[in-house]
A and B are shown apart, each in its own frame.
Chain A
């Protein structure tokens, strides 16, 4: 199949694997930021193919996983308001909050609906003018432009019963926080492909410059990832870290101007609460006051009991790359995709789910 087979070619893969092995002498630690990469690395058995000198850690790039429990509690509390319909992406349904989950709220009678696109939430709002339709907006720079577009569409169509709970997060600021903490000593980062389609490669420039850490943007096919690893190993071996794009068919250095303009129009940058990391300045997207009539945070108030984390769950450590899923005592024993304790086991992009499914 065109545009897929080329990136799964086993001969080319063997060539890259050989080249990586040949040039790798130092023991290095890499982080794949994005959960999609963790999944692809496990699915194609890439860790087996690269030399033992290359260690890979999963990072905080799973939108469901990094959503703070307190924010999830807020989403669940919103379901209990009268005459509301909560719309959300599927993975969010099953994540346990402090006291309940969206799934449980639904089972208890709340109107919670899974949508595949925020535009479906707009349609639900149009079809139910007497109800308030709240979209739980999670995700990174990848999803934020479509949410921004939905708010502009609602404005244009004068839809007055559509709201967004904006929990959107930004990638480069949290990378900075992780590097500043020094908890995990990284030599290189496999930078997220889809996020970079939007933001381009420039926002990562501070990483090699200030931290001496190599950055290569990767696509999600196995050859993309191998090419990215090849570039990372070469940069690190040569002692010349910089930002490179190993996904040129998707990413331009300047990103996608139109998408960035959409985000800029609707959102402003603010603090965000990350699971396992806490409040990170300048890492979240808040709805600008111009569009505050769509802001669920402003339109509804709910009282929340203090958030509490599931006992023994190490999702917070896993999203920081400080622990692998295998280091969590609950993994596979108590916590499984059927009975998830933490979000990393729920989300299809979560590291624990990938380790579980592919026996990492």
Chain B
């Protein structure tokens, strides 16, 4: 074997791409699962490769699913794999559940570089390890070029809700405090800065993170958290409006108390966006009894994902269904749900 042969072989490996046959169910499909997926995601239930994963469970279960089509699939602070694990873990955690098992379904575009898929799988492994969840069942499909945009991922998740927990968007009561776990808009701005045709660089990374341990610590501090939600698409404003409408209460927040990173503020100024409408992937909003607020805030600030947590407002009985913001100037205005699309301004 001479050097030129070796470099040829390395090149072929480097240039390896996903083929339609990788999703055909035949030998290449089998190899893909055995060589690229199992070594990273192995656990007893998955290793069996039976038609369905079988596990024991008892108690109140939470079940959720989400599809991820983010573009680009790699972005500052994460990638579609990390997002797919954290998103589903967080949806479970927001019901107060301890996430246990995930499914992972991948739809890849023919021609996707194998190296990119491997990076995504490794990222899924790291995120699952951090969140202490197991991926116990999955599926891979390959579609013709142009039928998907590189890679779509779906995850579903099952979690166990400890006894005594009752969290719902309909539980907010007048007098409750509103807690936000940290800076807003990081994910949306990180993604937008990468979009084709929008060439600016901001020192902002996506906040994409699993929040289940943060939620567990909050529930230890007080098991009677009323509402919990992660403000993803539509941002903080949309989540608060959902709470106000579901619970038939008003919510007042103070603009000055909402933490926003300088990079996000700068990008929002430039693009004409309001950070309260920009997406997050590692933040939560909690509505809690007034007496519990400080008790819950303390452990949050100890957790890396809640370092900048703050009480940003309270629930009132007036203006049911409405969110009102006291602006920096001392005026008040209604904060509505996001309407239309977030588009940068043109002049």
Contacts and interface: CB of A to CB of B under 8 A. Distances in A.
Contacts of A44: 327-329, 331, 333
Nearest to B271: A116
A48 B343 contact: no
Nearest to A64: B346
Given A14-B330, A44-B329, A337 B346 contact: no
Given A120-B197, A348-B345, 11 more contacts: A39-B272, A42-B333, A45-B332, A48-B332, A91-B343, A139-B347, A142-B347, A222-B327, A338-B339, A348-B343, A349-B347
Contacts of A114: 197
A359 B336 contact: yes
Contact of A143 (B265, B334, B344, B346): B346
A231 interface: no
A115 interface: yes
Given A46-B329, A46-B331, A36 B345 contact: yes
A353 B274 CA distance: 14
B146 interface: no
Contact of A359 (B333, B344, B346): B333
A338 B340 contact: yes
Interface string A112-154: 0011110010000000000000000011101100000000000
A139 to B, nearest CB: 5
B346 A10 contact: no
Given A91-B343, A143-B347, A45 B272 contact: no
A346 to B, nearest CB: 8
B347 A10 contact: no
Contacts of A64: 346
Contacts of A222: 327-329
B330 A357 contact: no
A1 B346 contact: no
A8 interface: yes
Contacts of A356: 336, 339
13 contacts: A1-B262, A8-B328, A14-B329, A46-B329, A48-B332, A91-B343, A94-B340, A116-B197, A120-B197, A348-B272, A348-B343, A348-B345, A358-B333
Nearest to B196: A120
B52 to A, nearest CB: 40
B323 to A, nearest CB: 11
Interface of A: 1, 4, 8, 10, 13-14, 36, 39, 42-46, 48-49, 63-64, 89-91, 94, 114-117, 120, 138-140, 142-143, 194, 222, 336-338, 346, 348-349, 353, 356-359
Contacts of A43: 274, 327, 333
**Residue among B327, B329, B344 with most chain A CB within 10 A:** B329
Contacts of B256: 10
Given A45-B332, A49-B331, A336 B347 contact: no
Interface residues of B, number: 25
A36 B333 CA distance: 17
A48 B345 CA distance: 25
A44 B256 CA distance: 12
A357 B339 contact: yes
B266 interface: yes
A90 B344 contact: yes
A265 B256 CA distance: 47
A77 B221 CA distance: 63
A10 B333 CA distance: 16
B141 to A, nearest CB: 27
B269 interface: yes
Contacts of A116: 197-198, 344
Given A10-B328, A14-B330, A120-B197, A1 B347 contact: no
B345 to A, nearest CB: 5
Contacts of A115: 197
Nearest to B195: A116
Given A90-B346, A143-B347, A349-B347, A358 B329 contact: no
A349 B340 CA distance: 13
Counting chain A CB atoms within 10 Å of each CB, which of B197, B265, B269, B328 scores highest?
Answer: B197
Contacts of A63: 346-347
Nearest to A14: B330
B263 to A, nearest CB: 9
Interface in B241-262: 256, 262
Contact of A45 (B331, B345, B347): B331
Contact of A1 (B265, B334, B344): B265
Nearest to A139: B347
